[in-house]
Structure 1
Amino acid sequence: MPRSALLATTERALLHRLAEEQAKYRVPSLVAAVVRNGELVWWGARGRVDGAQRPTADTQYRIGSITKTMVGVVVLRLRDEGKLDLSDPLARHVPGAPMGDRTIAQLLSHTAGVRAESPGDWWERTKGGDWSELAASMDGEAVLHRAGRRHHYSNVGYAALGELIARLRGQSWFDAVRAEVLAPLGMGRTTPSPIAPHATGWAVHPWADVVLPEPAHDHGAMGAAGQLWSTVDDLARWAAFLGGDTGEVLSRDTWEEMREPAAVIDEDEWTVGHGLGVQLARHNGRRLIGHGGAMPGFIAMVWADPADRTGVLFLSNTTYGGIRGKLDLAMLDIMAEHEPVMPEEWLPAESADPALLALTGPWYWGSASIALHLRSDGYLELKPLAHGGRPSRFRPDGEDAWTGLDGYYAGERLRAVRGPDGAVDHLELVSYIFTREPYPPTAPIPGGVDPAGWRGR
């Protein structure tokens, strides 16, 4: 991926934060990067790979559960092709699955109530078997909670999604990911097994400056939960994808659906949540999409902020207890402080439909005022005024009709209703009537309007 330039002061601040993290938490090697507007704008490295070489942007590290985001994209592609519905129970496509009554959407968002780990030995440190072995090993103990009750992270659930992909694609989950996600995005160094140059995974002794090598296996059916290895260059492309540069891999609508909160993890204060295959976070006014990954000997993270098209990532070869300093979020803060994104220059639309212009301005739902705005992309947008109302964007959907894209009105239809003279008389949105005046006596207001009209006490 080509690299653009940052200010020298920005690069210095990023490298200092990276060096601080590597030294303080005794990380054998650590690489990090920043992506902006779809391009790798900075990367840095500290430490050594196998005690000799500085890691590069092409050095492979295990990315653990970041694998899940790519598996999730293939599942959503299957939905978009009509091969499944997200409300389908898994058993419709994987007969006999031990969590077969749970829906595909619930598995994607970790709200299916499925057990977190596979039975038996610690799967991340052992060789895995196939799906039939994994399914049999659960023997009635696959689910712990009522479906939809809570967020309960489940590696087993993603093993089931991997099998779902294999059944519907007629190939392994990884072959599908490679063909449908990695190849189109140019991520040729993201693989299920390490290919040189790659880092060795280490455990760092908690009380001494010595290390122990960690094993790396083919995890079989559990591989869809965290098998993959990748590089800075490849994960930079993935950060750009998560930030909205989806190319031909995923439609814009499906990407938007993917990052809608399906579950909140910290219930008292929504700062961390989960969408369809991705983790979500709110940080200093940002709404982030991404995922972390941890396997024996490795910790990785990738986040993207679609609002300013900035992404951050890091890869490291240390087990769990190493990185704790929130390097990823710190890099976002450095970028915001040193090189905030310049707002896009406002330009008037090339043209405007007079009929749409006539719809703009204030409308009233009862006594609540709201303004209808015509955007340069041809969409309509409701914006609350002084007396409240619910904001939403609307995409054209036929003559005098639009479909809501977000907020309370997502999926609902807005219609312009014309009178006998052909002029727009009022707007209908679900059961609501929007008029040019508050409660006009001639409008079809549900329940009618008192003929005496407005009055004082």
Structure 2
Amino acid sequence: MTIGQSTESHEPGPAGHGPGAVATPEEPTELLPQTRRALLRRLAVGQAEGRAPSMTGAVVRGGQAVWTAARGSVEGAVPHRDVQYRIGSLTKTFVAVLVLRLRDEGLLRLEDPVGRHLDGTPVPDATIAQLLAHSSGLAAEPQGPWWERTAGTLRPYPADLFGERPQRLPAGRRHHYSNLGYALLGALVERLRGGTPWGEVLRSEVLERLGMGRTTLRPERPHASGWAVHPWADAVLPEPAEDTGLMGPAGQLWSTLADLCRWAGFLLRGDERVLGAASLAEMRTPAVPPEGNAWDAGYGLGVQLVRREGRLLAGHVGSMPGFLAALWTDPEEDVAGVVLANCTSGPAVAALAADLTGIVSEHEPRIPEPWRPLSGPLDPELLALTGPWYWGANPHALRLRSERELELTPLSGSGRASRFRAEKDGTWTGLDGYYAGETLRVVREPDGSVSHLDLGTFVFTRGPYEPSEPVPGGVDPEGWRA
């Protein structure tokens, strides 16, 4: 190996569930040689054509890092997986997880106006969800000089962040990326955690639990230096690495390839010590209308969403002076790509990280989990609800899934599908599709037998327009005709 050129590793490393995580036995822990070569070539092309002083990349699959590689040099050597880079707006995914933790603990609702929990905000009526999704209408940047290249001490108080017109658009109407919004979310975390700084909350509640000891607010050696590359010459200029103070929740963090592999695995699968899979899936749901007619990108709750070659990816890109970062997850394939570089501009790291996931998905499609029967005793009454049901004459199937979850799917060419979560009161709540948030109830006869299903006032019966069934509006008594 030539110092300062490249290195590649395909030794599995833990990711997603803290130290010691392993892939399922059905999913190989090593990539095929041709897949590794395709990944290395893509990273090498990205570093060379983007003229990055150094670049590292990784692929996570099955909950662990299955490939890592690096090009270029940091202090005269090829960077290894524990060299820190600044990750910019990937920081926002961490802040969003902290906010969702507060929601799951019952300390706030996403629909709450931020002014209910935080005094002195310029947008007190904007909701917490709108801040997470960049739809609060707040200005994109704080007032004063370029905040990413100047010390946070220039804005020591929250009022120093906002200019005369802090809100540029009506709240909730459209996506308008706002670093200021995440400064407010960091302050919200601090307020609801009894004054503990958001970075300390992040360390104790997330980073330590996931084994991410090399993710910090300030750089710790070994770390890369940030560089600007001259646009018309192969020359570099050092960039400052300021502590951004109150703007830190928008892009302060430093991390490593190894730590971000753990973060990617967590974003794919969840970890009940930090945040469950259901809340992470909620973060990946588009939260604002897309921009333009032929949209291929959107935003959820703290995560960016992109469509790429038929795949929906969730994650974030980041940039700070001297650094670029990208992390994309493909939940359907259970694969993620991470790229870090130490230059202000040049490499298209967002496309590169997406391509890493695509190469693995194309060369080695995911092996599905083996089918297994439900665990535990079955509820006979619940099992009796399964099978065919009819909305009018439109046939549907109701299936029982894990933990009393139900799934309704149409059996003809049209109809609406949805999954339903069991509630303590004996009803179910729709999780997706047209019936998201709607209530499914089992309506019974006086003798306790099942009459029909009521789904948001839609009646599902056991037969198609049977005269004896409780169809709204009634059924012609002569029934079906030849």
Instruction: Give the TM-score normalised by the residue count of structure 2.
Output: 0.90
Matched, 1:309 2:320: no
Q: Does the 8 Å CA contact 1:21/1:325 hold for their aligned counterparts?
A: no
Q: 1:206 to 1:226 in 2, by over 3 A?
A: same
1:405: which partner in 2? Answer: 431
Q: 1:282 to 1:323 in 2, by over 3 A?
A: closer
Give me the whole-angstrom Cα distance separating, in 2, the residues matched to 1:430 and 1:65: 40
Q: 1:132 to 1:88 in 2, by over 3 A?
A: farther
**Distance apart, 1:137 and its partner CA:** 4.8
Code of the residue aligned with 2:268 in structure 1: it is G
Matches within 5 A, 1:25-424: 25-50=50-75, 52-129=76-153, 133-169=157-193, 170-323=195-348, 326-349=351-374, 352-375=378-401, 378-398=404-424, 401-424=427-450
Matched positions, count: 455
Code of the residue aligned with 2:441 in structure 1: it is R
| Bigger mean CA deviation after superposition, 128-137 or 440-449 | 128-137
**Distance apart, 1:358 and its partner CA:** 2.5
Code of the residue aligned with 1:167 in structure 2: it is R
Q: 1:190 to 1:400 in 2, by over 3 A?
A: closer
Give me the whole-angstrom Cα distance separating, in 2, the residues matched to 1:116 and 1:139: 11
Q: Does the 8 Å CA contact 2:327/2:350 hold for their aligned counterparts?
A: no
| Bigger mean CA deviation after superposition, 76-85 or 218-227 | 76-85
Q: 1:401 to 1:166 in 2, by over 3 A?
A: closer
Q: Does the 8 Å CA contact 1:118/1:134 hold for their aligned counterparts?
A: no
Q: Does the 8 Å CA contact 2:452/2:459 hold for their aligned counterparts?
A: yes
Q: Does the 8 Å CA contact 2:142/2:163 hold for their aligned counterparts?
A: no
Code of the residue aligned with 1:442 in structure 2: it is S
Question: Per-residue displacement from partner, 1:246-294 (whole Å, max 9, x unpaired)?
Answer: 2310123322221111024443234211111111122233222211100
Question: Per-residue displacement from partner, 1:190-223 (whole Å, max 9, x unpaired)?
Answer: 0111101100000111110110000010101111
Give me the whole-angstrom Cα distance separating, in 2, the residues matched to 1:358 and 1:40: 44
Give me the whole-angstrom Cα distance separating, in 1, the residues matched to 2:314 and 2:215: 20
| Bigger mean CA deviation after superposition, 283-292 or 412-421 | 412-421
Give me the whole-angstrom Cα distance separating, in 2, the residues matched to 1:354 and 1:135: 61
**Distance apart, 1:181 and its partner CA:** 1.1
Q: Does the 8 Å CA contact 2:155/2:161 hold for their aligned counterparts?
A: no
Give me the whole-angstrom Cα distance separating, in 2, the residues matched to 1:281 and 1:413: 31
Give me the whole-angstrom Cα distance separating, in 2, the residues matched to 1:84 and 1:353: 35
2:19: which partner in 1? Answer: none
Give me the whole-angstrom Cα distance separating, in 1, the residues matched to 2:72 and 2:287: 38
1:187 match: secondary structure: coil
For structure 2, list consecutive stretches of 5 or more residues without a partner in the other structure.
1-11, 15-28
Give me the whole-angstrom Cα distance separating, in 2, the residues matched to 1:288 and 1:111: 21
Give me the whole-angstrom Cα distance separating, in 1, the residues matched to 2:251 and 2:161: 19
**Distance apart, 1:315 and its partner CA:** 0.5
For structure 1, list consecutive stretches of 5 or more residues without a partner in the other structure.
none
Give me the whole-angstrom Cα distance separating, in 2, the residues matched to 1:337 and 1:288: 15
Give me the whole-angstrom Cα distance separating, in 2, the residues matched to 1:7 and 1:36: 13
Give me the whole-angstrom Cα distance separating, in 2, the residues matched to 1:431 and 1:297: 57
Code of the residue aligned with 2:218 in structure 1: it is S
Give me the whole-angstrom Cα distance separating, in 2, the residues matched to 1:84 and 1:59: 37
| Bigger mean CA deviation after superposition, 382-391 or 416-425 | 416-425
Q: Does the 8 Å CA contact 1:264/1:272 hold for their aligned counterparts?
A: no
**Distance apart, 1:324 and its partner CA:** 6.0
Q: Does the 8 Å CA contact 1:114/1:154 hold for their aligned counterparts?
A: yes
Give me the whole-angstrom Cα distance separating, in 1, the residues matched to 2:451 and 2:318: 55
Q: 1:210 to 1:378 in 2, by over 3 A?
A: same
Give me the whole-angstrom Cα distance separating, in 2, the residues matched to 1:119 and 1:436: 63
1:185 match: secondary structure: coil
Q: 1:325 to 1:232 in 2, by over 3 A?
A: closer
Q: Does the 8 Å CA contact 1:348/1:376 hold for their aligned counterparts?
A: no
Give me the whole-angstrom Cα distance separating, in 2, the residues matched to 1:325 and 1:73: 21
**Distance apart, 1:140 and its partner CA:** 3.4
1:101 match: secondary structure: coil
Q: 1:137 to 1:186 in 2, by over 3 A?
A: closer
Q: Does the 8 Å CA contact 1:70/1:177 hold for their aligned counterparts?
A: yes
**Distance apart, 1:452 and its partner CA:** 4.2
Give me the whole-angstrom Cα distance separating, in 1, the residues matched to 2:291 and 2:351: 17
Code of the residue aligned with 2:166 in structure 1: it is A
Q: Does the 8 Å CA contact 1:131/1:163 hold for their aligned counterparts?
A: no
Code of the residue aligned with 2:142 in structure 1: it is S
Question: Per-residue displacement from partner, 1:313-359 (whole Å, max 9, x unpaired)?
Answer: 01000112333681111111210122111122223445644333322
**Distance apart, 1:130 and its partner CA:** 7.8
Matched, 1:447 2:473: yes
Q: 1:323 to 1:106 in 2, by over 3 A?
A: same
Instruction: Give the TM-score normalised by the residue count of structure 1.
Output: 0.94
Q: 1:212 to 1:127 in 2, by over 3 A?
A: same
Sequence identity (%): 56
Q: Does the 8 Å CA contact 2:340/2:349 hold for their aligned counterparts?
A: no
Question: Per-residue displacement from partner, 1:403-431 (whole Å, max 9, x unpaired)?
Answer: 22222222322122222443322111110
Aligned-CA RMSD value? 2.0
